[in-house]
Amino acid sequence: MKRLSPSDAMFLYGESREQMFHVAAMMPFTPPPDASPDHLRELMDEVRAGVNVYRPWNLKLKHPDFLYHPLQSWIEEPNIDLEYHLRRSALPSPGDERELGILVSRLHGYHIDFHRPPWEVHLIEGLEGGRFALFVKVHHSLVDGFTAMRILANALTTDPDERGRPLFFSIPPKSRAPREEQEGVHYAAVMSAVREQYGAAKVAGRALKRVFDSARSGAHELVSPRQAPKSILNARISQSRRFATQRLETSRLKAIAKAANGTLNDVVLALCAGSLRKYLVEQNALPPEPLIAMVPVAVRAKDEDGGGNSIGAILANLATDIEDPYERLAEIIESTRNAKKQLEGMSKAAIIQYSALLIAPSMLQMIPQTAGHVRPTFNVVISNVPGPEQPLYFRGARLEASYPMSIPLHGQALNITCNSYAGHMCFGFTGCRDTLPSLQHLAVFCGEALVELERAVATNAA
């Protein structure tokens, strides 16, 4: 039996009819030339014949009917029904990307069964050219998105000729070295930790004061938690989901970043801003003030000796009030540069405390009764997760892309997450179908925003 940590338990406490705290990945594959027409059936037969299921994929909740149980814990399920967890679906052949998107949107829009280990895998066949897709769905309380993607990557290989690799749930976890015997907790160590947190709190408080001073002065060099406008992105959501994807060459994004003296992440934000602006204009819902994004960032902390990174959060101006793509990008670059400069020189503890204080007011906008009525802390979450640069294979089938699917919430009807993979940036737009109609237009507009930005950069360089 394994007790849930407080952070893991929070994902259960937030579960409701409309809010579902599972994450997913949609991964299309191109089969090898020598693939059997029945290769997916053969894979299902292999599963039915019996395979081992290792932790954490064999864990289920001890109290599935009372998610808020104070002693909630994970217990091992000795008799896993793999035919329930691994399912085979088919599109009317030849299925296109739109039909695939509709299917995975539907799969993402229903709850996971907590009476079983909280994960599902769908093998989806019928795509054009004999292609197929894997849709993997897992509750955030069991595995976080980063860890889930790492485990999935371990089930893939860079060798197209390796055909015997098992599915991810049948790969045993790496054995851990035994922990060294720890001496008792020393008073000096405890006091040192207290002093560190106290010092971090003072640094974080000063940084937050600079944010509010900037807002009061009207300069807005730093985005404040009360700067985001009300928008349709921040309304109450329903249970229905819609998912859309876009895949762009990373080299094109890097070329823009270099020409504009920005970063790859700045260009990602600019593409999202361009698509959001066009989408909201189409919906007659573009606020006169610029949209604000919450962006997770990796920043080197001054107290880290090696190559480790500290994860913080910044608020970035998306400049959606600016029509010109080049001027919009310049505004985004300045905004992210000022925001990240706030984190320079901070300790890891100070970064965490400052980030928490910065986004803390967002809890109010996530309450069903207040969603859409209070001014949001930020309008959208945009995250960019680096992935493998080499092509990956599953039993000879080449992974074409890896599209992340995330969690819409009350007051946060849209989430945009990107994964880089094999020279491409894979955008996943996950939203509420009822709150944001025609959400797939966002993906189309994202591709158009890249062309517009390339032209704007070329014109300004001439």
- Note whether 293 and 381 are within 8 A (CB): yes
- Note whether 13 and 135 are within 8 A (CB): no
* Residue given tokens 């296109």 in the structure block: 96
C-alpha torsion sign, points 88, 89, 93, 97: negative
Distance from the Cα of residue 195 to its chain's centroid: 34
Alpha-helical regions (H) of 360-439: 362-365
Q: How many helices (H) does the chain have, and how many strands (E)?
A: 12, 16
Nearest to 385 by CA among 361, 368, 404: 404
Nearest to 264 by CA among 142, 134, 382: 382
- Cα separation, 131 vs 390, whole angstroms: 20
- 386-392-397-402 Cα dihedral, nearest 10 degrees: 0
Q: Could you say which DSSP state residue 390 is in?
A: S
Burial of 255 (0-12, 13-18, 19+ CB in 10 A): middle
Q: Catalytic positions, please?
A: 140
- Note whether 232 and 285 are within 8 A (CB): yes
